[in-house]
Amino acid sequence: MREKEENQKEKRKNSYISSLWKAMQMELREHKSSFIVYCILRLLVILILVLQIFNRNYENVFLCILTLLLFVIPSLVQVTFKVELPTTLEIIILVFIFAAEILGEINEFYLLFPLWDTVLHTLNGFLAAAIGFSLVDLLNRSKKTVFNLSPLFTAIVAFCFSMTIGVVWEFFEFGMDKFFGFDMQKDTIVHVVNSVLLNPEGKNVPVKITDIRDILINGQSLGVGGYIDIGLIDTMEDLFVNFVGALIFAILGFFYVKNRGKGKVAKRFIPRKKRADRDFLEIVQESETLERKTEANLGAREKK
């Protein structure tokens, strides 16, 4: 009996995964423009993946595989949570993933273009605020929940959600650097240091050291042209631009809710609840259920 129940559970699980995959394929093809972007970026990643395999650069191979998996997240979210991502938002998410993983990491745009990381973190703050805003807005408009925030508090929640995502990401970067020897928190060269530690009298008064041109480690010059700040400035700059992106969207979202959907800019970035005729997972599951019933009826007739 137990074995039979386990087999039935396994069949239901496989059936759900199959239905989910079919629904995601339908979701990908729903919007022509985002589907074209998805196909182009996916093809580029696959070409880079093959190239990295030939070069035996397996760390970049992993990044390519991770990117391909991340590309399906927008469709997975839409199908699973029954929300509709605006085409503009979906395209930006795909481009953001490609810019961060493929261009930033593999093609070293983070090193070639100093502002690359800053732009992506600003965009991340903007997108995270859009996601946080949509979560609250969907709850506000849901008949199943007693949840009704004013436009101001909706904007504040979206802003705080975005900042929390930014902080958690900086925790992740610090953890990867601290425990796995990465350098995700990029170093910054500075020429002025204010430090209490260097006060010769041991007082809580910072000593200012200016015009720093070089540093020595074990008696050898590093030749970097100044003092190395290990990650702090990078982290604070990332959080600041995340703050800017989150604040911009919070303001747009405030006026969007206040005028209830009239904001054309915010509307392009705020997910909404799916219409019943666009719930592809439900459509696929109903279709498969109907097919199984039809097959069962045909089988019963043949036996008679």
Band of residue 124 on the pLDDT scale cut at 50, 70, 90: very high
Band of residue 240 on the pLDDT scale cut at 50, 70, 90: very high
Band of residue 134 on the pLDDT scale cut at 50, 70, 90: confident
CA angle 166, 181, 65 (to 5 degrees): 65
pLDDT given for residue 3 in this prediction? 65
Percent of the residues in the chain that have a pLDDT greater than 90, as a whole number: 46
Residue 193 phi, psi dihedral angles, 5° rounding = -130, 130
Domain boundaries, the chain: 1-113+280-304, 132-179+232-273, 188-229
104 token code pair:
């930033």
Band of residue 304 on the pLDDT scale cut at 50, 70, 90: low
What's the mean pLDDT in 119-144? 85
Distance (Å, rounded) from C-alpha 14 to C-alpha 253?
40
151 token code pair:
């436009």
Between these two residues, 260 and 205, which has the higher pLDDT value? 205
Between these two residues, 50 and 283, which has the higher pLDDT value? 50
Distance (Å, rounded) from C-alpha 65 to C-alpha 58?
10
pLDDT given for residue 160 in this prediction? 96
Distance (Å, rounded) from C-alpha 178 to C-alpha 43?
35
Select from 13, 133, 24 the least CA-distant residue to 77: 24
pLDDT given for residue 294 in this prediction? 76
pLDDT given for residue 270 in this prediction? 84
Band of residue 143 on the pLDDT scale cut at 50, 70, 90: low
Distance (Å, rounded) from C-alpha 263 to C-alpha 251?
11
Residue 1 has pLDDT above 90, yes or no: no
